[in-house]
Structure 1
Amino acid sequence: MGFQLQREELLSGEQLQSMLAENPARAAQAILLAAKQGILEGQALLGQILLEGQGIERDEGLAFRWFGIAAQGGHVMARNMLGRCLEHGWGCTADERAAAGHYRMAAQAGLDWGLYNYANLLATGRGVVQDQHAAFALYQEAAHLGHAKSMNLLGRYLEDGRYCPADSRAAWNWYERSAHAGDFRGQFSHAAVLAERGNIEGALQWLECALAIGNLKFLRVSRAALLEAKEPSIRAMSDVYQARINTLLNKAL
């Protein structure tokens, strides 16, 4: 006998997310049923678990299709995920210009991730005409919505001062907020400020936090920066970062 759920069990996105954490395979069946019944949150979540292979066989092409269905129904995060797929070529031909269009729509709807992703394209000129001032404004909007990665990038713009009035104090505040919100780049930025202020113990603690969750690209760039540190204990963290890099590389083999 097949797995069955009542329709009312499928209406809560929070319930489905909770199920994913507890029992991915069971949640995948519930999400699939919800998606087929036309429930937007189920359609968007089905795209996500297909993209990640969470509780279901990974299928990027099918994920792209379900994101499209949910986006057509008005699901803003699914619209953002269509952009992600098009930017990176997940289940489709990469098309940064098309990705920018979807990010723009998600940003206009006020989605923090849409604001962030569209800002990234504007900042780098991928798929759109480069516009650092517009990127700054979008990062700022996303940061005020609580988006951790945007907080760190807003801090960089404020510290740099080329596309907005320079404000080091505000930049440091955003780095700290980003760190506490869980962004590993924000944690590294905050650690750098603490080290500059002479709080070496605090800096080391945040470097450890960034080390635990940072991706391979971040770790490599960060290790190079640590090698240039004046404080010996901070500089010694480069060896710890290298060890973590080696671990991640070995896992990938």
Structure 2
Amino acid sequence: MVTTIDALTPEAIAARLSGAPEERTALIREGAQAGLAEAQAVYGQMLLDGAGVPCDPAAALGWFVRAAAQHHLMALNMVGRCYDLGWGTAPDKAKAAACYRIAAQRGLDWAMYNYATLLTLGEGVPEDRVAALGWLRRAERDGVGLARAKAVNVIGSFHEDGWATPRSMTDAAACYAQSAEGGDFRGCFNHARMLGAAGDVAAALRWLTRAGEWGTASFVAKAEAWLAKSDVAAFRSEGVAALRLGAAC
């Protein structure tokens, strides 16, 4: 039996996607119901975010599972995120790690980053920072965009703390700068820390503003608390102000 979405021409699909938000949502839902893995993954994300539909994490997880069953790697990663963070289900770090590991092994950069995070923390899997660093470096090598930037930021923290690699503040600073340029708000904050410690407060303040602009509310609160106690005097006043300025944007 031919489904409604199968009967649409490319031009009709393009028109609905570029039309009113309700039309786009209806088309994606139709595609998901028709069994299209990409539509299922997108519709799951919409339900998770409450974008154009009521927020429903449990329903989102259901659609991610259906797409993952069709080998959609980002959907599998999102199943992991749901179990990792308790979105629509009880938290289960072991299940999260299993999802991340499979998607990472199949080449998804976001899953490499997420799996490395659990390996670093020993959540759902035994702590293994050597393996974590290996996955982070693979995400750095093969990843793109924000996933790569986030992986590079964590590599910087490995260099800064001497985890699974010799401690090197020079290498850490280089990673943080690269991560910040790639758009990761944690990278922006860490880059600002390094610049402030090196005496370049003006540049540090600019990156703090970006960290505030791009960061989550919980991150900004923690960053502000750190700045308020910083050894860099300018951070305790101007730094907090720069962070708040970004958050207000």
Cα 1:70–1:246 change in 2 (3 A) is closer
| 4+ residue runs over 4 A deviation | 241-247
The letter for the 2-side match of 1:87 is: D
Q: Kindly tell me: are residues 110 and 219 of structure 1, through their superposed partners in 2, closer, same or farther at Cα, counting changes over 3 Å?
A: same
Trace 1:33-182 onto structure 2 (pairs within 5 A). Answer: 33-144=30-141, 145-146=143-144, 147-182=148-183
Post-superposition offset of 1:151: 1.1
Partner residue in 2 for 1:30: 27
Aligned to 2:213: 212
Q: Secondary structure at the match of 2:195?
A: helix
Check 1:28–1:135 CA distance in 2 against 1; reply closer, same or farther (3 A cut).
Answer: same
Cα displacement (A) at 1:135: 1.2
Measured after TM superposition, the shift of residue 42 of structure 1 is 0.6
Measure, in 1, the Cα distance between the counterparts of 2:190 and 2:199: 14
| Equivalenced residues, count | 240
How far the C-alpha of 1:63 sits from its partner, in A, is 1.1
* 8 A Cα contact 2:112 2:138, kept in partner: yes
Does the Cα contact within 8 Å between 1:226 and 1:237 map onto a contact in 2? no
Q: Secondary structure at the match of 2:199?
A: coil
Contact 1:27 1:55 in 2 (8 A): no
What's the TM-score once normalised by structure 2's chain length? 0.85
Mapped to 2, the partners of 1:142 and 1:106 lie a distance apart of 12
SS in 1 for 2:127: coil
Give structure 2 stretches of 5+ with no counterpart. Answer: none
Query: Given residue 34 of structure 2, which amino acid in structure 1 is its aligned partner?
Result: Q
Please report the TM-score for the alignment, with normalisation by the length of structure 1: 0.84
Q: Which deviations, in whole Å up to 9, do the C-alpha atoms of 1:65-119 show, x marking residues without a partner?
A: 1111100101000000001111122222221111111111111111111011111
Deviation at 1:241, TM superposition (A): 6.8
Q: 2:209, 2:244 → 1: CA distance?
A: 13
